[in-house]
Every structure is written in structure tokens, then in C-alpha cells.
Structure 1
Amino acid sequence: MFIDKAKIHLKAGKGGDGAVAFRREIYVPAGGPSGGDGGKGGDIVFEVDEGMRTLMDFRYKKHYVAQNGEDGKNKNMYGKDAEDLILKVPPGTIIKDEKTGAIIADLIEGGEKKVIARGGKGGKGNIHFKTATRQAPRFAIAGEHGDELTVILELKMIADVGLIGFPNVGKSTILSVVTSASPKVADYHFTTLTPNLGVVKTKYGDSFVLADIPGLIEGAHEGVGLGHEFLRHVERTKLLIHIIDIAAVEGRDPLEDFDKINEELKLYSGKLADKPQIVAANKIDIPEAEENLQKLKEKLEPMEIEVFPVSAATNKGLEELFIHVSKKLKEVEESYIEDVVVEDEKVYQYQKEDKYQFTVSKEDDIFIIEGKFVERLVNSTNFDSMDSLSYFHKVLRKRGIIDELKTMGIQNGDTVKIEDIEFEYYD
């Protein structure tokens, strides 16, 4: 089954917690702290696999969680970093942040890798908190949480040339004739429900990838018919072959067909409408086709769009068409630049900006402090240790939380709540 869109949830690994430990060697009385740091949480990495053609693997499994880092140990031993979680995707996969719609990655080349969710850093062991006045710190720092986000995967098939046109004009038949692809071919609308790829090889040894894009109809840019589901597959092509039923077998006007399809391309994407086009006037073997062919040539000549009369049924004109396409493709490739804007590292910038963010709100007479780093600080605090409490208060002051509480009018004796723990405030 061809799947070209998927929504999945990613959760990178949490960093391991730092350890609280002390040297206990038999000949070292009152040994100092020896708690090691926690290991880094696993990243979630996407890797391009050239053997994949769809996003089928992501249809049934929607949640992906990387391993947590190992906690720190005694004798200043660090916890092990967690292994990364590698997710394979086909070439042409775009990864978007569901919340913002921003493009996080555009994966094209085989073997290309991109870290999408970073694992949390490991926490610090108590060995880091020894000072001249604090010789035996009985606290450590918990590991950071990893990135957690929902992403949209979209597959834009990578082909050099795209076949476009109304349904049932002969696109699939042409693909089956000029390549080794075996698309479904029949005499009814929307036979092609998924894009098909094939490799064209000319008699001069040139080759390129040809994509049969499902038939476009009026309103496709708004999602009518197959609409958005497949228009995006045309975006990566360098050149378009516009197939027209020149014999008007379906009773439509071939000239109007040309205008309608191009209008749909323009409404969906101006860049798409500007792609070079070559028109293949199909079904030329039918007697009624000749008069329409002349009218079409007269219409397109001022637009400098070349028209090739062909017959998919008899192979007439197909060799000449694709030799010309091969030459045209070389000209186009010299000036072709993939114009996808990737907001590189957007997810990680978001994480860094939010690392020490917090909010202070008031419900009834209780001041509520929220923020990831505050939760992590609370979870790392040993409230039975004066050293640990002293460090806790020091961080609250350093990060501006105490000043914010004062700005909001807190008084001695008021209640402050962080997660499920309540404190009485005294300056």
C-alpha cells in the first residue's frame, strides 16, 4: 500500500540522574563525594533508506520513544549514554512540526541523517557540588528530559519528469510503454490512485526517472478529487509532460483541458506553474485528432511550448518525445535549484530558548511556579539536607523566580507550590 503522509509522536530519552555517593575505602576516613554523572538520553534520528518507497511503516505505530540514559554510579563512574533510535524513511521525506507547521528537515539523499528529537543531558553527580564549606554534599541533579513533539511526515516523490493531465488521458499507458513500470491501466477515471515511478532509457543511453501523477481535475488545489494528496508529488520534478487527449474521446475540449490543468497548478503553487512543460498530444491515431492538434499548436506556439503528437496505443511519436525530453532535462538541470526552505534546528532552538523558562501564577492565595527546569530542580532536591535546600534556594534566586514572586506581591508566610509540594515563603 502506498502511504505518503503520517503523523507520529516522538519522545527522546531522558538523561540519567546524577548519583549521591561517598568514598568508603577502608583507609580513607570521612571520604569525599564520589557520585558520577548520568548518561545522555537517546536521540531520535531519521535516516534516508533508498530501498523504501512509502511511509507504510508509520501507519500503525504512532509513538516512538528513545532509551533513557543510565544513572550515575559510585566511585565517580558515569552512567552510559543511551543508544539513539534510528527511524528509516524514503527519499523525499519532509518532516514538519505539527504545532507550527515549520519544516524541520527535508531528507533527500540516500544515507542522509537528521536528529529530530534530542535526548536530555545527564544530571550532575554530587562530586560537582563540593566546596570549601560544603565538604559532603548530599544531593545531585536529575537528568534533563529529552525533546518531545509530534511531527508530520510527508513524502514528495523524487522524479526528474512528471506526467500530468486529466484522468484517463493515457499517462499510465505511456509510463508502462516507455519504462519497466507496471501501473494499473484501464478505461475509467482515477485508475491511478497512487503515483508510479519508472526509469526511461533513450537509445542514446540517457536515463531519467519518470513519475505518473494521478489525474488532476478542477478544484484539485482545494483538495477536490485526489487534490492535495498528490499535487505535492509534482513539486520536486524538474520538467512536466502535459498529456492531452487530443482526440477528445471524453467529449472535452483539449484546449480547455490545457488551461484548466495549468490553472490548478498555478492556484496550488506559483512555482509549480512555472516549471517547464512539454505537451504530448495523445491518441493522435484517432482520425478526429488532427484538427484539434493544429488548433493546439496555434495556441501554444506563442507561449513557446512544444507539442509532440503521440499514440500510447501504437507507440507512435514516443521515442522522439522522450529523446527531446532527455535533452530538455539537461538544459533545465543546469539552472534547477531545489527551493525548499528548511528551518534548520528549529526544534532544538525552541528547546534551548525554553530551558530556563518558568511561569508564576496565583490561584486563590497560592503562588504556583511551573517550568521544566523547576520540576527537575524539585526532583533533584533532598529536602532533609540543608546543603540541598541551600542549593535549591540559590537556583531560584539566580533564575529570577524569587524576584518574580516579589513583583507579584508575595509576603512572608504565603504559600508557594511547585508540582505537588507546598512551601511557606520567607525572604
Structure 2
Amino acid sequence: MVKSQQTGDQTMIKKINTAIVFDSVLKNGPLSRAQISERSGLNKATVSSLVLDLIDAKLVEEIGQGESNGGRKPVMLLFNAQAGYAIGIDLGVNYIRGVLTDLLGHVIEEREWSMKRPDLTSGLKQLTECIDKLIALAPESPYGIVGIGIGVPGIVDDKGTILFAPNLEWGRVDLQQYVEDKFRVPVTIDNEANAGAQGEQKYGAGRGIAHQIYVSVGIGIGTGIILHKELYKGASGFSGELGHLSIEYNGKPCRCGNQGCWELYASENALLEQAGKQGLPEELDELIASAEAGDERTLALFRSIGSYLGAGIANIVNVFNPDVVIIGNRMSKASRWLEEAVQEAVDMRTLSYHRERMRILFADLQDRSAVRGAAYYAINTFLGKVRNVG
């Protein structure tokens, strides 16, 4: 019994030490074995043994000699980002965007397809075809496709089941199970705004910022809430549906069953609806081109949508007191014509203490925040398993 306990303790210690060494190389490489020992406090023999295991596993590689500090030149170590590849999918209401990335999240391939018939049967068929095409583009690697992450415009439970997606008009769908059965790799499903928040925090405007709210403004509006650098999902995992804040008490009816929801007045859908009523182009890129040409009616329309967008953001600022609010998804492409009206509405409607140091940013990744965040989910799941190997 004692011997078994000692063996268990040793296995656990090795797992912990492997994770320490692996994270040192992943986050701070290139590093030498001596530098890892110095940073981690582990002795050099332990580090050398664990590094050898990671090299054998094709996760770490020797990349040549570094600078000498007086003795023999050290051999430098680097994480092998091409040990495997991840797929990220942003499942939109009228499009599917997909990326193939390496294990550091660098985009290797990117594709976008329109959702010609977004009913459930054809939608799942198109999703499967998109993933197949991305898999076919992956270079040879030791671990192949390590996982798939998918951001969807709706409420998702912790088993990856879509419970409610009013703009997509799909019912309950066990999407994680469906995709895992098809492709036999780990799959993570989350709300696209949560994926977008992760994408901006990891690769975009939110890097290094502790408290941030990502506002995804597309056909609808969703939000991803990051507090203390961690994604906040609420008691049941469903937080972030702030597109359904009521901003008009007796307002327009929403597909969610409520009325006067914020997304009815400040989303891309709201923009295009108003554009149609005014005889303006009913396509975002055409409206942007019209604004670039200085058309006054288009500029006024963007200002109006920006004011509504700012009104909802003001509520978010007053509730969460974030460091930044990041506006992303397709409407971020119109930042030039939205930002002034958004800022004015926020300045007018927020408490002065809350806005004193708060900044409004537009997503660095524009409409690619969610697809990059979805790929990050797949990468993070794989790296978590690596850290557990001992």
C-alpha cells in the first residue's frame, strides 16, 4: 500500500513538473535547459529528462545554439507549433467561416462560405463539408487535427448542445456529439460572442487586459464577458445574451419572445432594415462604400445605429465597470462611421466614475474574432491534455 502511494505521488509530481517545463518553453521559448531550470527551480537533471520526453513526443524541438555566457553554447528549445493543427469555425446566420491554425493559433488556411439554405439539415451538411475541406488542407504532422472549435449564434450548454438560436432558427441540436461522431476528434461548442471574446483576448485588442466585454455586432448582438482574464459564463453557462437587453419598453417584437431588444435597434440586421426603408443599399459592404463616398443619408444612418449601439454599451459599462469594451464582428468594419456616435452615447449615459478610465475599442481581428477564438478552444483542450501527461 505504501509503495503504491509513493508511485502515485511520483507520477503526480512528474505530471506537474512536465507541465512546468512545457509551459516554460511554450510561453517563453526559445530557452535553454539551464534557463528552464533557473526559471522553474527544478534541478537540471529533472529538466533534461523531461525535455527529452517532450522532444520524443514531437512537442519541443532543438533549434540550434544560443549565445554563450562564457562556457559552452547552450542548445535552444522551442515549442513545435506544427506538431498538430486545429480547426476553428464561426457558424453565422448566413455564412460559415473556417480557419486551419497551427498550435500557436497562426492561421494556415482560411475559407468562407455563404449559408445558402440555413435550415438544420442543409446547415449541418454545409458545416460538415467545410470541416472536410479544411482537414484536407492540413499539412502532415505528428498529431494531425487535434480538435475542432465552433462558435454558434445562440445559447449552448456545457455538453455542446445548442439550446436556443433564434436568429439561426434551429431548434435543439446536439452539435458537439454530431461533429465528434463525424470526425472523431475533440470538439468544443460555445456561443460565438464568447469565442470572439477569447479570440480578441488571445490574439487581438484584448491582450493583457483583465476586465473586458466583447460585443459581437452581426445579424444579432451577443457579448462575451471576461473578468479577471477569465471568461465569465454565469451559473448555468448562459451569460452574455445582452443583445436581448430591453431598451424600448413597448418596442419591436424579437424572435426571442421579448420585445424592444437591443439587437433590434443596433445590429447589422437593424442597419440593413433601416437602409431598405430609406432606399439605400441593403448590404453592409455597399453601405460602407456609400459612406466612404460621403453619402449624407448613409452617414446619418450609421450615426443613428451608433447611438443605439452606444446606449446598450452604456448599460454594460454601468453594470460591469470594465477596462475596455471591444466591438467586433461584421459591424466593426464600419468603425470609422460608428465610433463617434457610440462614444457620445456612452459619455452621455454612463456614470462618470465608470467611464473615467474605460476605453471603447474596435476588434483588431474585425469579423474574425470568433473563428480565431474557436480555434483557440481546440488548441487549449489539446495543450491541457499535454500538460497532464507524465
Q: TM-score w.r.t. structure 2 length?
A: 0.26
Higher relative contact order (CA 8 A, sep 6+): 2
